[in-house]
Amino acid sequence: MIRKFENGNDYVRPLEGNIILRREGIIKAVTKENVKINVAGILYEKFENEEYQYVFTPYWDIIDGCTSDEFFGIPGIDLDLRLDQYYRVNYEPVFITERTPSASREDLWELLETVGMDYYDRFEWLLRTDMRAANDNLIVEPKREESLYVGLGKNKEALPAVDFFYGEKDREGNVYSALLEQVQYGDTVIVEDLEQLETNEQKFSCLLRNLLCKGVDVLDVSSRIKYGKTERTALLTLLNLQRRKYEKQRKQNRMKSIARAKAEGKYRGRKKIEVDETYFSDIYRCMKQGEMTQKEAMERLHLTSRSTFYRRMKEYERRLKPLA
């Protein structure tokens, strides 16, 4: 059961008064497949008397449908209390401090300049970057003030009035990617016929799951069915079960194919991703000297897998040992 806020704790008692600054963001859990799951709202309010507070609003309808490997909590927030909102008053919560630069950092102003800031504001920095802490998969993105009605399908005329419309997808499905980046918690996606968006059952399940992970209501005009907040947890739970079933079947099929190829003497293993030795040594040196982050190094090397990146690092270090 979700509990309402209870008075009596000086550290979480909400402030009252004239608000002079208010900014909102959405906390998103980024999965291994790079799917962004909206798990909570985060609000910063500054008052006329210079006091301030952060307000965390968990999206329980999404959180309760997530798997343990997708979302494992918000640092500094005790989600076991099942509160509608969590207040942090007149101090920077752990969630903010562990993923934003401190005022004493030597390269602070250089960092601020990279995101177009000429003033120090930890929350604004967080909204303008995709920074995450080392021990979680959470990022924060800005939240729009108003909710949108977004159309999706082949024929805009078949849909009610919408704020934006996304036409039929291209071969790469880019229209879905653009849609998923645009929508946020509280929006409504209106479709002419949900089933016709994807004829492939697995792709259909994936699309519906990704929409629900955004916290949007999905309105199917043809069937007059609306998949909203009350159905979201149950639907996400079922779709996650289905996803695991697909993944298990895919792995089994792959192992069968490998076993068959080995028996026929045709299996040679996965082809190794080649990386230029000289270029890699330059990237390695920059990383070790703190001139480049791991993410930047992977992008320079065109590597998307962290495990592949770590293997290349270890291989390179082993080759260096005889020279040491």
Number of residues in the chain: 324
Q: Give the model's pLDDT for residue 274.
A: 65
Q: Give the model's pLDDT for residue 252.
A: 86
Centre a 10 Å sphere on the Cβ of residue 21 and count the other Cβ atoms it contains: 12
Rounded to 5 degrees, what are φ and ψ at 77?
-120, 120
Sign of CA dihedral 289, 291, 295, 298: negative
In the chain, which residues have pLDDT < 70?
1-12, 170-173, 267-276, 321-324
Burial 96-132 (b: 16+ CB within 10 A, else e): bebbbbeeeeeeeeebbeeeeeeeeebbbbbbbbebb
Q: Give the model's pLDDT for residue 9.
A: 42
CA–CA dist 306, 292 (Å, integer): 16
Query: Residues 22-25: contacts with CB within 8 Å, 24+ apart?
Result: 22/46, 23/123, 23/124, 23/127, 23/142, 24/142, 24/143, 24/145, 25/123, 25/126, 25/127, 25/140, 25/141, 25/142, 25/143
Q: Are strands 164-166 and 149-152 parallel, antiparallel or unpaired?
A: parallel
Q: Give the model's pLDDT for residue 132.
A: 81
Q: Give the model's pLDDT for residue 215.
A: 95
CA–CA dist 180, 176 (Å, integer): 6
Number of helices followed by number of strands (H, E) in the chain: 11, 10
Q: Give the model's pLDDT for residue 3.
A: 40
Predicted TM-score (pTM) of the model is 0.75
Q: Give the model's pLDDT for residue 253.
A: 85
Q: Give the model's pLDDT for residue 275.
A: 66
Q: Give the model's pLDDT for residue 5.
A: 45
Q: Show the tokens assigned to 308.
A: 């592949």
